[in-house]
Amino acid sequence: MADTVLYDVTEGLATVTLNRPDAMNAMNTEAKVALRDALKEAAADPAVRAVLLTATGRAFCVGQDLKEHVALLAEDRETGAGRTMNTVREHYNPIVTALAGMPKPVVAGVNGVAAGAGAGFALAADYRVVADTASFNTSFAGVALTADSGVSWTLPRLIGHGRAADLLLFPRSIGAQEAHDLGIANQVVAADELADAAAAVARRLAEGPTAAYAAIKESLAFGAGHGLVESLDKEDELQVRAGASADHHRAVAAFVNKEKPVFEGR
């Protein structure tokens, strides 16, 4: 794995760390490929039961590396290849699909500014623990671009269409407390407590019923685009699957015996 993204698996928790602190974790091609591949590895590894996405330095991720982007635009003008914006299809879409479609819970530990694609990555996680010094900014319209990294899908589902349109049309910095009030941040903690707090949430999920969490994620995604009747049918399908899991049987037995269940993620 490239040094631009660090990857570690310990006791069922995969920690994926953006590691370009001097560039505020801006995403150059190397970092995008490394993040995409790390998330795919976490999704495929049965030993991984939860994922923590976080970053080094003072920023979570400021989105596209604009220095690289400018160079690629110049190359496109010279060659006519028009490949610069292929990064959405080749990198950002697979990254967000891996986060949102991960069959295990994903926690974002947002240590600093999350802008553009960086905001998109955080929004694609299932739970966001945010430092009180962190902020969010959609940024796209400020450089004459439209939303990518799943923001057009995730943001309105978190805060509603009207507020999402406001933040996309008039991008501005959203502080941690406002992010919590809007429903973007699940928890806001002191900056020096962020690493421990985010890891604690992720470890708790890593010790939980992984298959049930995957079903919850699937049901939420399905319900976002379907009506009540179809969603009820999906709930039935997923509950039958969950009811057959070893973790469910173990949890019921533990309840009857007044014990705390120990889940194995299957």
Q: Classify residue 184: in a domain, yes or no.
A: yes
pLDDT band for 152, please (50, 70, 90 cuts).
very high
Whether pLDDT at 227 is above 90: yes
Other beta carbons within 10 angstroms of residue 192's beta carbon come to: 10
CB 106 within 8 A of CB 80: no
Same-domain check for residues 34 and 161:
yes
Same-domain check for residues 169 and 48:
yes
Which of 93-97, 141-145, 210-214, 261-265 shows the lowest mean pLDDT across its residues? 261-265
pLDDT band for 2, please (50, 70, 90 cuts).
low
Distance CA 162, CA 143 (A): 22
User: Distances in Å between the alpha carbon of 173 and those of 75, 117, 148, 166?
Assistant: 32, 14, 18, 12
Whether pLDDT at 1 is above 60: no
> At 239, which CATH number?
1.10.12
Which of 77-91, 118-132, 245-259 shows the lowest mean pLDDT across its residues? 77-91
Same-domain check for residues 59 and 121:
yes
Which pLDDT score is estimated for 129? 98
| Order of strands, sheet of 106-110, starting from the edge strand that comes earlier in the sequence | 5-10, 13-18, 50-55, 106-110, 127-131, 187-189
Domain that holds residue 218: 210-256
Per the structure, the count of domains in the chain is: 2
Which whole number is the average pLDDT over 26-31?
95
Percent of the chain with pLDDT over 70: 98
- At 113-144, the pLDDT tens digits run 999 999 999 999 999 999 999 999 999 999 99
Which whole number is the average pLDDT over 95-119?
98
**Closest C-alpha among 9, 2, 71 to residue 36:** 2
pLDDT band for 9, please (50, 70, 90 cuts).
very high
Query: What crossing angle do the helices spanning 93-100 and 29-44 adopt, rounded to 10°?
Result: 30
Which pLDDT score is estimated for 239? 96
